[in-house]
Amino acid sequence: MPETSDLTGANLSGKDLSGANLSGANLFNANLSGANLFNANLSGANLRDANLTLANMNAADLTSANLYGADLTNANLYGAIADHANFTNAKMIIANLQDADLGRANLTSANLTGANLSKAGLTYANLSKACLTGADLFAASLKRACLNGTDLTKAILAAANLTAADLTEADLTGANLLDCTLTRADLTGAKLVDADLTGADLSGADLTGADLTGACLYGANMTTADLTGSDLTGSDLTGSDLTGAIMTGTNLTDANLTDANLTRASLRLADLTGANLSGADLTDAKCPSGAPATGNPPHC
C-alpha cells in the first residue's frame, strides 16, 4: 500500500496519476474529476462517493475496488480491469466501458444510461435494477449475469452472449437483440415489446408471462422454449424454430408464423385469432383444444 493511502476528500481534480500505485488507498469522497488515471493500480481502493467525472481510467486496475455511489459520468474506462468491483448506485452515464473486464462486478442500481459496454466482459456480473437505457452492449459477454428488473429500454445487445442470464422482469422495450444468444436465459415476466430478436437463439429459454407484443423474432431459434402465458400479439415469427416449444395459453393474436417450425410444440389454450400459419410445420403439435394437429399437412 502506498504511503499516500489516506486521501479521504482529497482534491485531485485534473491531476496526472497515470501509472500510479493507489492499491488499497482510501479515496472516499475524493475529487478526481478529469484526472488521468491511465494504467493506474486502484485494486482494492475505496472510491466510495468519489467524483470521477471525465476521468481517464483507460486500462486501470480496479479489481475489488469499492466505487459505491461514485460519479463516473463520461469517464473513460476502456479496457479497465474491474472484476469483483462494487459499482452499486454508481452514476456511469455515457461512460466508456468498451472491452472492460467487469466479471462478477456488482452494478446493482447503477445508472449506465447511454454507456458504451461493447465487447465488455460481464460474466456473472450483478446488474439488478440497473438503468441501461440506450446503452451499447454489442457483443458483450453477459453469461449468467443477473439483470433482474434491469431497464434495457432501446439498448443495443446485438451479438451479445446472455447464456443462462437472469432477465426476470427486465424491460427490453425496443431493444436490439439481433443474433443475440439467450440460451436457457430466464426472461420470466420480461418486457420485450417491439424488440428486435431477429436470428436470436432462445433455445431452452423461459419466457413465461413475457410481453413480446410486436416483437420481431424472424428466424429465431426457440426450440424447447417455455412461452406459457406470454403475449406475442402482432409479433413476427416468420421462419422461427419453435420445435418442442411450450406455448400453453400464449396469445398469438395476429402473429405471423409463416414457415415457422412448430413440430411437437404445445399450443394448448393458445389464442391463434388472426394468426398467419401459412407454410408452418405442425407435425405432432398440440392444438389449442389439446387435440393433436391433423391432416396433410397437419393443421389445427
pLDDT of residue 19: 97
Phi-psi region at 158: left, alpha or beta (left = phi > 0; alpha = psi -120 to 50): beta
Separation between Cα atoms, residue 78 and residue 136, nearest integer Å: 13
What average pLDDT does range 134-147 have in this prediction? 98
Does the residue 244 lie in any domain? yes
Q: Please enumerate in sequence order all residues whose Cβ is within 8 A of that of 212, keeping only pairs 6 or more positions apart, or say none.
A: 192, 193, 195, 230, 231, 232, 235
Q: Which pTM value belongs to this model?
A: 0.95
Does the residue 275 lie in any domain? yes
Separation between Cα atoms, residue 193 and residue 175, nearest integer Å: 9
What average pLDDT does range 164-190 have in this prediction? 98
Q: Is the pLDDT of residue 250 over 80?
A: yes
Q: What domain range is 218 assigned to?
A: 200-300
Q: Is the pLDDT of residue 3 over 60?
A: no
pLDDT in tens, 256-280: 999 999 999 999 999 999 999 999 9
Mean pLDDT over all residues of the chain? 97
pLDDT in tens, 93-131: 999 999 999 999 999 999 999 999 999 999 999 999 999
Does the residue 262 lie in any domain? yes
Separation between Cα atoms, residue 35 and residue 170, nearest integer Å: 35
pLDDT of residue 4: 52
By three-state DSSP, how is residue 66 classified?
strand
Does the residue 232 lie in any domain? yes
Question: What letters, b where the CB count within 10 A reaches 16 and e where it falls short, cover 263-274?
Answer: bbbbbbbbbbee
Separation between Cα atoms, residue 294 and residue 175, nearest integer Å: 38
pLDDT of residue 37: 98
Better-scored residue on pLDDT, 297 or 156: 156
Cα distances (Å, whole numbers) of residue 237 to 38, 205, 216: 47, 16, 7
pLDDT of residue 40: 98
Separation between Cα atoms, residue 184 and residue 207, nearest integer Å: 10
Cα distances (Å, whole numbers) of residue 17 to 40, 45, 85, 149: 7, 14, 20, 37
CATH number at residue 298: 2.160.20.80
pLDDT in tens, 204-238: 999 999 999 999 999 999 999 999 999 999 999 99
Q: Compute the C-alpha angle 122/64/8, nearest 5°.
A: 130
Does the residue 130 lie in any domain? no
Does the residue 300 lie in any domain? yes
Does the residue 51 lie in any domain? no
Question: What letters, b where the CB count within 10 A reaches 16 and e where it falls short, cover 74-94?
Answer: bbbbbbbbbbbbbbbbbbbbe
Percent of the chain with pLDDT over 70: 99
Let me know how long the chain is.
Answer: 300
Does the residue 211 lie in any domain? yes
Dihedral angle of Cα 232, 136, 70, 4, to the nearest 10 degrees: 150
| Total tally of structural domains belonging to the chain | 1
What backbone phi and psi angles, to 5 degrees, belong to 141? -100, 110
pLDDT of residue 5: 85
Separation between Cα atoms, residue 226 and residue 208, nearest integer Å: 6
Q: Is the pLDDT of residue 1 over 80?
A: no
